[in-house]
Structure 1
């Protein structure tokens, strides 16, 4: 449901003690919220960013889901998620065995990256929810601050969904060489992924800070700067009055950092596609596969669906992220931003698709767990996997370091505060 109105209210500076005004975190437009019912969200009328979300569920439900997820980590990591029968030998694969195998093969960086994405980040997110509730219960300010900071950053690196897709791809690759059996841990992983997605959808860092101290407790007639840690719009200051984080109108050195990460990713993408990413030894024959040759091999084996997934995740997505970020940087640097909503859409898509590039690295980890056993069939990563891991990390860092407000800096700023009835969308 969307209701549109052209009604406007006076400027922010003419609204003494107006606690309904908030600066949009993506374009810095002052927006006033009036009469937001439960179950509805309010979006910025200029850039479409969600500004308010009226929650109808209890935050204690988040705690219950987080504890359940932490308990599910035990069976999902301890038991095997897949078992294969290769030349009469039963081989079981667990999440930690894949990390260990990568490390033993001489790729500790890739081992740490895969471990971080499928274990450390999800555990950190769920643990942060737990410590956040403890901090609210016992009024621990520093614990609350650090917990919500971890929560904000860890959810972008949680990739259990990508790992499950990688398991399916690995099974298709192995079906011609072995018999495949689903392990007990896979059921736990699927349930864990479902609950993790539910938790991410329910979590609101702003709501936790509101539970600590509500926004209307800070009386201010002028909203000049927005805190990106606790999302409190307030008067100009060096530090936030609520969470004590440093305040910046723009992320410091945003363009410089984004350019640096993007250039590093652009350099690494060449060896990532030219150097073999995996090496398969079967019947004494050594088969070295780059990303392109791996996709071609899947097509030749009539695995067109898997080939499309790998092609999109490992070739299209990294290249699209680099080109998309380069386009946004060019628009900002040379004042070529024409369609602001279009550029914001590109930015949001880049941030969302970033994690799916990890698919190939997860597949390598799973294959190494199940196949590298000195049997007739042997598997090992190639140095192209290292370069590809660098591309994944740097493109994600580049997307995080780019400040979207820079896209709006050259646009004539509207001094009016718009009623949020201009953009109210129902969640019910």
Structure 2
């Protein structure tokens, strides 16, 4: 790994070198990982992906938990909440199904597809598989579902006896394997196996005449000399290859842009729409609970207050943070980053980059409330005696979750550093 490259996080030109075994190289300015060190073990990733696919079947067939309610045994499988919500709330049901089943399945299949593409030399299959892997890995939410299942069990423990099913053990193992798969898989390595960067003749023009190399494993790296900084080079967002500027990537044939086209406009559009929907999400009831003919409609905030009154303070804090603090903080945080970009703020670039990464990571945990609703609908459905259904606020809340995640995905983080580069030249 002796070739020059631009950091995908801040667009800094640097010169990484091969890291020691098991170590990775990071950008000195924004701490983005440039490449994963150590040897590439595709066979291990293939085994994990196969194991995930095998466990996918029992996880969805066998009950996660079973409760005894009024003498009746009620099982809850992973997709049962989706089926219960499909008739009245199809959009919410699809979001839950996508995050708990479709996205994890496609991520596992994409790893298999990428390895098959390398074996049979199929470029289209490789490109589409790696696109799916990159785009959907943040939407695989088994960890969020497990926390939601635990919260649901605490909520129903006063009404029913709870029994652990075999599906729960499969889900825990599947979550461990899925986390291991997502952290191990590097799309860059697949592209390097397909066609190494150093094999391209245009890459020779990007080699520096002098300059420091990047150090490994969180150690600071040094930028290249001024001669490399002035070269017309560009980073491909698809295969992550740094190359001489052209209209399309010489390796993956994707359109090349110095920055994502209309990134700020799209991010603002998603953010403004999320801001509009966050009001009905918090003002309208998100759940309707029927107990012995008494109807109780809870908004997110009143549900948190009810949990505190019933001595479930820990769960109340989790719900409050995930369903109220996180969505509002994401909107405010993204708005702050966008305003700083547009007003060309000249300080605190690294702090804004850290904030962007925190928003990117924490975004999926807002889905927790929807998972809890889907599980409760499955477990508590006894007609006029005891019943639980989503309220209109659940639809608005689902829209807020999706829009905020799309806003984060559409923002080009390199825009945060553009003013920094202008200031330091």
TM above 0.5: yes
Measured in 2, the distance between the counterparts of 1:161 and 1:241 equals 38
> Of 386, 409, 412, which residue of structure 2 is paired with 1:400?
409
1:169 equivalenced with 2:151 (yes/no): yes
The question of whether the paired residues in 2 share the 8 Å contact of 1:337 and 1:407 is answered with: no
Report the CA distance between 1:306 and its aligned residue. 0.5
Q: Deviations over 1:55-113 (max 9, x none)?
A: 33511100100010001010000111111111111101112221110112x10000000
The aligned residue for residue 65 of structure 1 is: 48
> Of 267, 270, 274, which residue of structure 2 is paired with 1:261?
270
The aligned residue for residue 410 of structure 1 is: 419
The aligned residue for residue 75 of structure 1 is: 58
> Of 225, 230, 249, which residue of structure 1 is paired with 2:234?
225
Mapping of residues 8-407 of structure 1, within 5 Å: 19-104=2-87, 106-219=88-201, 220=203, 221-222=205-206, 224-374=233-383, 376-407=385-416
Check 1:337–1:178 CA distance in 2 against 1; reply closer, same or farther (3 A cut): farther
Measured in 2, the distance between the counterparts of 1:292 and 1:53 equals 43
Report the CA distance between 1:302 and its aligned residue. 0.6
The question of whether the paired residues in 1 share the 8 Å contact of 2:266 and 2:407 is answered with: yes
Aligned length: 398
Measured in 1, the distance between the counterparts of 2:58 and 2:105 equals 14
The aligned residue for residue 426 of structure 1 is: none
SS at match of 1:143: helix
Measured in 1, the distance between the counterparts of 2:95 and 2:19 equals 42
Measured in 2, the distance between the counterparts of 1:34 and 1:208 equals 19
Q: Deviations over 1:184-210 (max 9, x none)?
A: 100000000000000011000000111
The question of whether the paired residues in 1 share the 8 Å contact of 2:373 and 2:390 is answered with: yes
Report the CA distance between 1:52 and its aligned residue. 1.9
Q: RMSD between aligned alpha carbons?
A: 1.4
Measured in 1, the distance between the counterparts of 2:30 and 2:145 equals 33
The question of whether the paired residues in 1 share the 8 Å contact of 2:65 and 2:164 is answered with: yes
Measured in 2, the distance between the counterparts of 1:375 and 1:97 equals 21
The question of whether the paired residues in 2 share the 8 Å contact of 1:251 and 1:403 is answered with: yes
Measured in 1, the distance between the counterparts of 2:46 and 2:421 equals 44
TM-score scaled by length of structure 1: 0.91
SS at match of 1:84: strand
Which stretch of the first structure deviates more once superposed, 91-100 or 59-68?
91-100
Q: Deviating runs (4+, > 6 A) in structure 1?
A: none
User: Which ranges in structure 1 are unaligned for 5 or more consecutive residues?
Assistant: 1-17, 417-428
Q: Deviations over 1:287-314 (max 9, x none)?
A: 1000000000111111111011100000
TM-score scaled by length of structure 2: 0.91
SS at match of 1:348: helix
Measured in 2, the distance between the counterparts of 1:361 and 1:166 equals 9
Report the CA distance between 1:413 and its aligned residue. 5.2
Measured in 1, the distance between the counterparts of 2:298 and 2:18 equals 59
Measured in 2, the distance between the counterparts of 1:196 and 1:376 equals 40
Q: Deviations over 1:18-45 (max 9, x none)?
A: 9521100111111002352221111111
Report the CA distance between 1:353 and its aligned residue. 0.3
The aligned residue for residue 420 of structure 1 is: none
The question of whether the paired residues in 1 share the 8 Å contact of 2:35 and 2:188 is answered with: no
Measured in 2, the distance between the counterparts of 1:187 and 1:21 equals 46
Report the CA distance between 1:337 and its aligned residue. 4.3
Measured in 2, the distance between the counterparts of 1:173 and 1:415 equals 55
The question of whether the paired residues in 2 share the 8 Å contact of 1:318 and 1:395 is answered with: yes
Q: Deviations over 1:270-291 (max 9, x none)?
A: 0100100000000110010000
SS at match of 1:404: coil
The question of whether the paired residues in 1 share the 8 Å contact of 2:66 and 2:162 is answered with: yes
SS at match of 1:411: helix
Measured in 2, the distance between the counterparts of 1:268 and 1:295 equals 20
The question of whether the paired residues in 2 share the 8 Å contact of 1:276 and 1:288 is answered with: yes
Report the CA distance between 1:260 and its aligned residue. 0.4
Measured in 1, the distance between the counterparts of 2:39 and 2:195 equals 19
Report the CA distance between 1:143 and its aligned residue. 0.4
